[in-house]
């Protein structure tokens, strides 16, 4: 057995990602308005143990300490989201300057430390008052989003180069409006698909609004959670079920954004359920971007299930494989996903030239050992194996320019509350003490060497 160093391309960008609601806390401070998550978590039954993001990792107050942690890691980029309700408490009209000030201090702090800020405009925390006007089921919300994007760009456009419109529109649409596990807790497939269309429209209008005020060098994109999908068997029924699942999870978004039309097989099969775009909508949605962000956690193995409407497809979990607290661990899926995207989408009319992994990570039950150390060997293994898959895809020509780990800190994992720990840094939610895990040291080494060591 020998160890070998797998080097990443020169200039490959190493980062970490967080999101506002999951780390900031300070849910009702300095003029912030209520978001749909603030409302959802305070209703019983939505989050395990009734936990909320009211305090979360208290990043709103502890950001200087968190910046120091990022510096110690050697992070080159940090992707964070802006809470719309800090900027516009009602989601339209009135601007709250204290909110802009907070993100300005954060951005300046990142720049002082030579960490590239990646500013994401929407990571699921819609202003509650927009929800009361229909939320993402209403087309008007897409226009409100563009106004908000422009307000942030006016203040920070001279300092932030990388701008992201949405994080994971599929989760917003399906978990928020079909399964109802996420805010606003709606369970209606017709609404969910209308929401898909309006989120994508918001992205397109958002890009137009940003381009109108940002300097020429600004780089704009969207982040999608893509799930490579495999049929549970070779039967035509399972294969078609996997195709439908892939359609709604992946192609719906990819085709609209990169080809400028919704997938034809789906629009024929799901007439009535499918959004009916107004003339010109798809041109707005496929407005050219500079980069595509891809979040990868796991794969889906899918079988035909006539009762599981509307797709008649359900996920199965193959025995004998490795699982985390939430998903199967399947690094090969990252390679399969990227090479498939490369083959099927790189020549589409609106495909950006630069791709990034903007989230990848694993929840395992971390604990603090007797000596105060967090020995998260499984996380290290997870990262190493996924980076290896990524490296292989890059060798084969996939235009991957960077990798962001999810997440910098342990945080509020939506409906699971604080049980799921994804961080490189452990957070004691009683005391707010931060402890870099062994994986933080491992990741710092990867960044320093721009390489991973593999044993062969």
Kindly give, in sequence order, each residue whose CB lies less than 8 Å from that of residue 145, ignoring residues fewer than 6 positions away.
121, 122, 165, 202, 205, 206
Does position 413 interact with ligand FCB (CB under 6 A)? The reply is: yes
Specify the residue, 120 or 146, whose C-beta has the smaller distance to ligand FCB. 120
- Looking at the DSSP bridge assignments, the partners of residue 409 are 425
Mask 365-404, x = binds ligand FCB (CB under 6 A)?
----------------------------------------
Q: Kind of pairing, strands 3-7 and 451-455?
A: antiparallel
Q: Residue 122 or 274: which CB sits closer to ligand FCB?
A: 122
Cβ closest to ligand FCB, residue 162 vs residue 414: 414
Strand order across the beta sheet in which 229-231 lies: 229-231, 300-304, 313-316
* Interface with ligand FCB, residue 35, by CB under 6 A: no
84 touches 126 (CB < 8 A): yes
Where is 50: in which H helix or E strand?
A: none
Candidate residues 171, 192, 196, 292; the one interacting with ligand FCB per rule CB under 6 A: 171
- Residue from 19, 85, 88, 141 touching ligand FCB (CB under 6 A): that is 19
Name the β-bridge partners of 403.
Answer: 14, 357
CB of 3 to ligand FCB, least distance (A): 31
Q: Mask 341-370, x = binds ligand FCB (CB under 6 A)?
A: ------------------x-----------
Residues 261-320 that bind ligand FCB (CB under 6 A): 295
Near ligand FCB in 215-244, by CB under 6 A: 225
d(CA 421, CA 442): 17
Binding region for ligand FCB (CB under 6 A) out of 102-110, 167-175, 176-184, 386-394: 167-175
148, 248, 404, 406: which one binds ligand FCB (CB under 6 A): 406
Cβ distance 122 to 87 under 8 Å?
no
Task: Print the SS3 string covering 334-394.
Answer: HHHHHHHHHHHHCCCCCCCCEEEEEECCCCCCCCCCCCCCCCCHHHHHHHHHHHHHHHHHH
Q: Active site includes 359?
A: yes
126: its two tokens: 């819609």
Stretch that binds ligand FCB, among 114-122, 165-173, 176-184, 204-212 (CB under 6 A): 165-173
- In terms of Cα–Cα distance, which of 448, 351, 328, 413 is closest to 51? 413
- By the rule CB under 6 A, 167 interacts with ligand FCB: yes
Nearer to ligand FCB among residue 8 and residue 248 (C-beta): 248
Q: 24, 51, 90, 359: which one is catalytic?
A: 359
Between 54 and 181, name the residue whose CB sits nearer to ligand FCB: 181
Largest interatomic CA distance in the chain: 64
Contact 204, 280 (CB under 8 A): no
CB under 6 A: which stretch of 31-39, 144-152, 166-174, 182-190 binds ligand FCB? Answer: 166-174
Among 422, 426, 442, 443, binds ligand FCB (CB under 6 A): 422
Name every residue whose Cβ is closer than 8 Å to that of residue 237 and which is 6 or more positions away in sequence. 303, 304
Element of type H or E holding 309: none
**Would you tell me how many other CB atoms lie within 10 Å of the CB of residue 108?**
13
Token couple for 237: 């029924």
Structure token pair of residue 327: 């998903």
With CB under 6 A as the rule, give the number of residues binding ligand FCB: 12
Please identify which residue in 38, 125, 168, 366 interacts with ligand FCB, judged by CB under 6 A: 168
Q: How far apart are CA 124 and CA 176, in angstroms?
A: 9
- 413, 123 in Cβ contact below 8 A? no
Count H helices, E strands: the chain? 16, 15
Closer to ligand FCB by Cβ: residue 86 or 182: 182
Q: Of the listed pieces 113-121, 163-171, 229-237, 251-259, which binds ligand FCB according to CB under 6 A?
A: 163-171
Least spacing, CB of residue 436 vs ligand FCB, in Å? 19
- Measured from the CB atom, the residue of 14 and 404 that comes closer to ligand FCB is 404
- To the query of whether residue 168 is one of the catalytic residues in this protein, the response is yes
Residue (366 or 413) nearer to ligand FCB, CB: 413
Catalytic residue among 104, 168, 264, 328: 168
Kindly list the residues in this chain that would bind ligand FCB in the complex (CB under 6 A): 19, 22, 167-168, 171, 225, 295, 359, 406, 413-414, 422
Active site amino acids: 168, 359
């Amino acid at each position: 057995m020998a160890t070998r160093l797998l080097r990443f391309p020169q200039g490959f960008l190493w980062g970490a990602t967080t999101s506002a609601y999951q780390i900031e806390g300070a849910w009702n401070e300095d003029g912030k308005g209520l978001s749909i998550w603030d409302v959802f978590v305070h209703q019983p039954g939505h989050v395990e143990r009734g936990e909320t993001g009211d305090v979360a990792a208290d990043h709103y107050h502890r950001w200087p300490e968190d910046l120091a942690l990022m510096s110690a890691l050697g992070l080159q980029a940090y992707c964070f989201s802006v809470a719309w309700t800090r900027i516009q408490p009602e989601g339209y009209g009135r601007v709250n300057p204290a909110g802009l000030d907070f993100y300005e201090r954060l951005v300046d702090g990142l720049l002082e430390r030579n960490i590239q800020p990646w500013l994401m405009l929407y990571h699921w925390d819609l202003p509650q008052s927009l929800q009361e006007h229909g939320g993402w089921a209403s087309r008007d919300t897409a226009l409100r989003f563009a106004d908000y994007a422009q307000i942030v760009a006016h203040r920070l456009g001279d300092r932030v180069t990388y701008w992201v419109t949405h994080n994971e529109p599929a989760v917003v649409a399906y978990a928020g409006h079909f399964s109802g596990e996420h805010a606003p807790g709606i369970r209606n497939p017709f609404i969910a698909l209308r929401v898909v269309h309006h989120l994508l429209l918001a992205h397109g209008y958002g890009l137009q609004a940003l381009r109108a005020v940002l300097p020429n060098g600004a780089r704009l994109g969207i982040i999608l959670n893509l799930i490579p999908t495999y049929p549970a068997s070779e039967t035509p029924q399972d294969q078609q079920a996997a195709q439908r699942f892939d359609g709604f999870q992946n192609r719906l978004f990819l085709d609209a954004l990169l080809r400028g039309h919704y997938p034809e097989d789906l629009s024929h099969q799901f007439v009535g359920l499918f959004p009916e775009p107004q003339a010109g909508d798809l041109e707005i949605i496929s407005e050219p971007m500079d980069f595509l962000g891809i979040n990868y956690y796991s794969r889906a193995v899918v079988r035909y299930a006539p009762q599981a409407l509307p797709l008649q497809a359900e996920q199965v979990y193959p025995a004998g494989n490795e699982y985390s607290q939430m998903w199967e661990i399947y690094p090969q899926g990252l390679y399969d996903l990227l090479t498939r995207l490369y083959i099927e989408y790189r020549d589409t009319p609106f495909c950006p030239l630069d791709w990034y992994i903007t989230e990848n990570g694993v929840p395992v039950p971390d604990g603090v050992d007797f000596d105060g150390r967090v020995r998260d060997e499984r996380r290290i293994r997870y990262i190493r194996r996924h980076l290896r898959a990524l490296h292989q895809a890059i060798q084969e020509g996939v235009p991957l320019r960077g990798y962001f780990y999810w997440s910098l800190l342990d945080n509020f994992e939506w409906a699971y509350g604080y049980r799921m720990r994804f961080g490189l840094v452990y957070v004691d939610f009683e005391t707010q003490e931060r402890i870099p895990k062994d994986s933080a040291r491992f990741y710092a080494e990867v960044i320093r060497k721009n390489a991973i060591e593999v044993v062969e």
